[in-house]
Amino acid sequence: EPEVTQTPSHQVTQMGQEVILRCVPISNHLYFYWYRQILGQKVEFLVSFYNNEISEKSEIFDDQFSVERPDGSNFTLKIRSTKLEDSAMYFCASMLGLSYEQYFGPGTRLTVT
Amino acid sequence: GNSVTQMEGPVTLSEEAFLTINCTYTATGYPSLFWYVQYPGEGLQLLLKATKADDKGSNKGFEATYRKETTSFHLEKGSVQVSDSAVYFCALSEGNQGGKLIFGQGTELSVKP
């Protein structure tokens, strides 16, 4: 069964460093999402991406964040200058169409020290 | 704005006990409602969904009914198994918002033999 994959599973970085979280969505899916979950808190929507552009972003998704689909298979989330409060589990999801199910990856745990 | 509230966990039950996890929502329109499950070390998986009032979603013995009058979508199972131990997330999606999911805080279920 096709699945969404994410790498790395755990990333440790120092405050102020740039990180890139990688996701490979399911190949024929058209909608792509990033969510995050700070330990002990809700899963929060960050950004949605469709037709090679951001379709919606949350207040969390400020200028430090960017997304890219560089080669038609990968979907990346970049944090330019990490802060301690960016420490969280980051989930990628993809969806075939608006009436379909979102499929989630296993997540990347980001730890900012 | 839209939001989802779940009962707090952890919930600990004996095998074959009856499970209810409460979920209520606030939405401006007519959302679709979902239950996702996260097993240890894995991503979120869709458990069941309902797209309109009075719909009942069901899967693997779990059920939830979309109740517009009480803005609720409580998850139930008649007889839980040890393998049901996981974190359960209630979520909603508004049809005109590009599919983004708004999650509750998650409820951890632990089933003891």
Bridge partners (DSSP) of residue B91 are: B34, B103
- Report residue B99's pLDDT band, with 50, 70 and 90 as the boundaries: confident
Number of helices and strands (H, E) in chain A? 0, 11
Tell which wins on pLDDT, A2 or A110: A110
pLDDT for res A90: 97
As a whole number, mean pLDDT of residues B83-91 equals 96
A contact set with B (CB within 8 A): 4, 31, 33, 35, 41-45, 48, 50, 55-56, 91, 93, 95, 98, 101-102, 104-107
pLDDT over threshold 90, residue B97: no
pLDDT for res B81: 97
As a whole number, mean pLDDT of residues B80-92 equals 96
Bridge partners (DSSP) of residue B3 are: B26
Q: Do A92 and A33 meet the contact criterion of CB atoms below 8 Å apart?
A: yes
pLDDT for res A60: 94
Tell which wins on pLDDT, B94 or A106: A106
pLDDT over threshold 80, residue B34: yes
- Least Cα distance to A42 among B77, B44, B85, B95 occurs for B44
Distance CA B13, CA A6 (A): 33
pLDDT for res B40: 84
- Least Cα distance to B99 among B42, B48, B62, B51 occurs for B51
Q: Chains A, B: CB contacts under 8 A, how many?
A: 53
pLDDT for res B96: 65
pLDDT over threshold 90, residue A5: yes
| Beta-carbon separation of A95 and B102 below 8 A | no
| Beta-carbon separation of B98 and A95 below 8 A | no
Distances (CA, A) of B105 to A13, B75, B91: 26, 14, 9
Torsion sign across C-alpha atoms A83, B92, B110, A105: negative
Smallest Cβ–Cβ distance between B43 and the set A31, A56, A91 belongs to A91
Residues A23-68 have pLDDT tens digits of 999 999 999 999 999 988 889 999 999 999 999 999 999 999 999 9
Distance CA B96, CA A19 (A): 32
pLDDT for res A101: 85
| Beta-carbon separation of A50 and B36 below 8 A | no
| Beta-carbon separation of B99 and A4 below 8 A | no
Residue B10, preceding peptide bond in cis (omega within 30° of 0):
yes
Distance CA A18, CA A14 (A): 9
The residue in chain A having the minimum alpha-carbon distance to the alpha carbon of residue B43 is: A106
pLDDT for res A37: 92
Nearest chain B Cα distance for residue A16, angstroms: 28
Residues A57-109 have pLDDT tens digits of 999 999 999 999 988 789 999 999 999 999 999 999 999 988 788 999 999 99
